[in-house]
Every structure is written in C-alpha cells, then in structure tokens.
Amino acid sequence: MHSYIDLLTVGASVGGLRWPDMLVQLFFFIVLLALVKKFAWGPLMNKMEEREQYVANEIEEAEKSRADAEKASKDAAEQLNQVRAEAQKMIEDAKSAGIKQEEQIIESARKEAERIKEAAQADIQNEKERAIQALQDKVASLSVLIASKVIEKELSEQDQEKLINEYIKEVGEER
C-alpha cells in the first residue's frame, strides 16, 4: 500500500495534481473568505452605504439649492416687475402733475390777461369820459365866447354862422 501512495505522490509531483495541497489551499481560501467577510466586507459595505447616503444627501441638497435659486429668481423677477410698475406710475404721476401745472399756469395767465384787458378798458372808458367832459367844457366856453362876441359885434347871421364854424373847426383841431 505504501507503494500506491508513493505512486500518487510521484505521479502528482511529476505533473499531476497534488490533492492534499489543493485541499489545504481550498481550506485556507475558505477561511480567508470568512475572515474577509467578517472583517473587511462589512466595513467596506458600510463605507459604500455611507458614500451612497452622502451622494444622495448631496443630490438632495443640490436639488433644494436649485429650487431655492429658482424661487429667488422668481422673487427677483417679481420685485423687478414691481419696481418697473412703480417707476412707470411715478412717471405717469409726474406727467399728470406737469399737465395739471401747465393747465394752472395757462388758467392763471388767462385770468391775468382778462384782468389787464378789463383794466385797459376801464382806463379807456375813463379817458373817453374825461375827453368828453373836456370837450363839453371847451364847447361851453366857446359857446359863451361866441355869445359874447355875437353880442359885442351884432353880427349878421352869415357872420355868426361863419364864426360858429370857425370855432367848431378850432375845437376839432385841438382834439
């Protein structure tokens, strides 16, 4: 029997398989796998899960940041539109105030022109009345003068008429 084991050992060493070595190696490989599973695989998987959780959190935060940025952008656009509307309202108010002020200035100028016109008409009327009064005074004095000359000279009707016409002409020239 000894020879049979020797034959197997010799046959294995010559180029055949060494079953005992393979079994020992298989045993150590299985032990190594068990040790890797117990000491390395669990922590490795935990690290992978932590990394997966970290990446998921980062994606979630990025999504939240994007949503916040979109909201901020919409808020900024709303504020810009509101500022534009307020600026447009201010421009419209300024235009309205300018038109109102223009109307007030025109109305004030119209009233002033009307007052000046009425004052000028009153002055003209006063001057006219004074001129008429002066003319009446002059005619009265001329009439008295004519009457006194008529009485003095006892002029004929033709002379009297000629004298009256001369004084009337004189009054007309003095105006």
pLDDT at 139: 78
What single-letter amino acid sits at 93? D
pLDDT per residue of the chain (175 residues) written in tens, 0 to 9: 555 555 445 444 555 778 999 999 999 999 999 988 888 888 888 899 999 999 999 999 999 999 999 999 999 999 999 999 999 999 999 999 999 999 999 999 999 999 999 999 999 999 888 888 888 788 777 777 777 766 666 656 777 778 778 878 877 776 5
The model's pTM is: 0.39
**Which DSSP string do the residues of the chain spell out, in sequence order?**
-HHHHHHHHHHHHHTS--HHHHHHHHHHHHHHHHHIIIIIIHHHHHHHHHHHHHHHHHHHHHHHHHHHHHHHHHHHHHHHHHHHHHHHHHHHHHHHHHHHHHHHHHHHHHHHHHHHHHHHHHHHHHHHHHHHHHHHHHHHHHHHHHHHHHHHHT--HHHHHHHHHHHHHHHHHH-
Closest to 143 (Cα-Cα) out of 111, 112, 171, 108:
171
Instruction: List Cα–Cα distances, 29 to 22, 35, 44, 108, in angstroms.
Output: 10, 10, 19, 112
Distance CA 43, CA 47 (A): 6
pLDDT at 101: 92
Which residue's structure tokens are 């197997």?
A: 8
**Assigned token pair, 169:** 């002409």
pLDDT at 159: 74
pLDDT at 153: 61
